[in-house]
Amino acid sequence: MKYIRIDKQAWDSGMDRAGKSYQLFGPVKSREHHVFQRLEDGQLPDMGAINTVLSPKSVLFPQTEKILETTLDESQPDHHIMKRAGADYSPRAVIGIAPCDARAVELLNLNFDTDEYKDPYWCDAYAATTFVGLAVTVPSIYDFTVSAGSGPFAEEGLDILLADCKDSYLAKVLTDKGRAFADAAGFENEEDSKKAEDIFKTMKEEAEAGITSAIETDQLREKNLLDLHQAPFWEDIAFSCINCGTCTFVCPTCWCFDIQDETKGTNSIRIRNWDTCMSPLFTLHGSGHNPRSESTQRVRQRFMHKLKYFVDKYDQGTMCVGCGRCVEHCPVNIDIRRVCNTMNAYEPEKP
């Protein structure tokens, strides 16, 4: 395993150099919060960001993405043919992605990159992206990654893991893509492996000890799905829900989308937009029937999906990675940690 020491003085110029061969994305301060954005020339990622409001999934899965286009203009050679929309899949690097968000990307792969079907837009974007993660040294109060299958120093899904050592970053190069990025940025001061391992180990333990939030998931797999579905606690949990899309849009693992066609003159495009299962429209059939017309049904569905259906189907733990964004941003304080623990502990009353 290769470890590289990056002096923070050298970081800026490294980003500059990397920017010549990669499109860079990173956390940027906006108003009083942070968002993940395409970095302009010379713009540096804010490595001190505690958490971004939206996750970096938008780098691979934008909120609105043009997928097909066509024209009726007969002067064009390919008129009347619906073709894949052009897009830029030149190499990109996501800098400062949190380990839990990188795990989330791997979970999204389970959906978009399967044996039966590969989503070309996701797969092409994923192939072009290098993930340069930043380990979390001071966990947020909303961080419950350790009990959700990830952790402040987790490596799943990352190409490089950076540890912030005050005057420098210690970089653990995990993959070939990571190696290529380090080369492009000119980061080459190798650190002794054993020494670096020890530093990582100590920092990881300290960070994990700083996590104050956790969920209990050990019983979820064993619970009977129908029992959980019919449990009486859903109505009270769902009471405050206003059915906005906040939780689904800030969530790094939510993958649902809606396809829309838009036309103007002789041109037409097909786009896909993030969709939210919280919306009453989500399950509205063409016939007018809506199996999840009630708010309680939709709220129940969301948590059952994240914490039960996914657990049963993929056997990779919960679909929640513990980033805490939904807890922080839900306008009515519906807390997935509370719901998870309630589900995990639920015993149906014996008849």
Partner 1 sequence: MNKRTERIRELASNLLKEGTVEMVIGFGRGTTPMATRPDIARTPEDVEKLVWNSNCSLNLANYLTDRKGQIGIIAKGCDSRNIVNHIVENKILREQLYIIGVPCTGMVDKVRLAALCDEEILEYTEDGEGSITLKTASGKKEAAKEDYLKPNCATCMHRNPVIYDDLAADLVDEPEIEDQFADVKAIEAMAPKEKWDYFDDLVNECIRCYACRNACPLCFCPTCFVDESGPQWVGKGQSETDVKTFHFLRAYHCAGRCTDCGACVEACPMDINVRAFTRKLVKDSLEIYDWEAGLDMEKRPPLDTFNPNDPDDFIK
Partner 2 sequence: MEHMGIEKERLHFSWISSAEATKFAHVAKEVTDSVRSIEPNEKLVKQLD
Kindly list the residues in this chain that would bind partner 1 in the complex (CB under 8 A).
Answer: 30-33, 35, 50, 53-54, 63-64, 138, 140-142, 236, 239-240, 242-246, 249-250, 258, 260, 262, 271, 273, 276, 279, 281, 327-329, 331-335, 337-338
Which entry of partner 2, partner 1, none binds 297, CB below 5 to 8 A by partner kind?
Answer: none
State in angstroms the smallest separation of the CB of 187 from partner 1: 29
Determine the Cα angle at 123 with ends 132 and 97, to 5°: 20
Binding of partner 2 by 82 (CB under 8 A)? no
> Residue 218, class by beta-carbon neighbours within 10 Å (0-12 exposed, 13-18 middle, 19+ buried)?
exposed
Binding of partner 2 by 17 (CB under 8 A)? no
Binding of partner 2 by 78 (CB under 8 A)? no
Q: Closest CB to partner 2 among 137 and 268?
A: 268
State in angstroms the smallest separation of the CB of 221 from partner 1: 25
Binding of partner 2 by 67 (CB under 8 A)? no
Residues 47-66 that bind partner 2 (CB under 8 A): 64, 66
- Tokens (6 digits) for 293: 């017309």
Encode burial over 28-65: b for 16+ CB neighbours within 10 A, e otherwise: beeeeebbbbebeeeebbbeebbbbbbbbbbbbbbeeb
Residue type, 26: G
> Residue 232, class by beta-carbon neighbours within 10 Å (0-12 exposed, 13-18 middle, 19+ buried)?
exposed
CB atoms within 10 A of CB 277: 18
Which entry of partner 2, partner 1, none binds 312, CB below 5 to 8 A by partner kind?
Answer: none
Among 28, 271, 307, 339, binds partner 2 (CB under 8 A): 271
| Strand arrangement, sheet containing 2-7 | 33-38, 23-30, 92-97, 129-134, 160-164, 168-173, 2-7, 190-191
Residue type, 100: C
Q: Closest CB to partner 2 among 272 and 337?
A: 272
Q: Closest CB to partner 2 among 37 and 51?
A: 37
State in angstroms the smallest separation of the CB of 65 from partner 1: 9
Binding of partner 2 by 33 (CB under 8 A)? no
Among 50, 214, 269, 284, binds partner 2 (CB under 8 A): 269
Which entry of partner 2, partner 1, none binds 267, CB below 5 to 8 A by partner kind?
Answer: partner 2
Q: Of the candidates 130, 124, 125, 62, which has an alpha carbon nearest to the alpha carbon of residue 95?
A: 130
Which entry of partner 2, partner 1, none binds 239, CB below 5 to 8 A by partner kind?
Answer: partner 1
H runs (alpha helix) in 22-175: 99-112, 120-128
Binding of partner 2 by 264 (CB under 8 A)? yes
Residues 244-263 that bind partner 2 (CB under 8 A): 262-263
Whether the CB-CB separation of 318 and 337 falls below 8 Å is answered with no
Residue 171: φ, ψ to 5°: -105, 130
Interface positions with partner 2 (CB under 8 A): 64, 66, 262-264, 267-269, 271
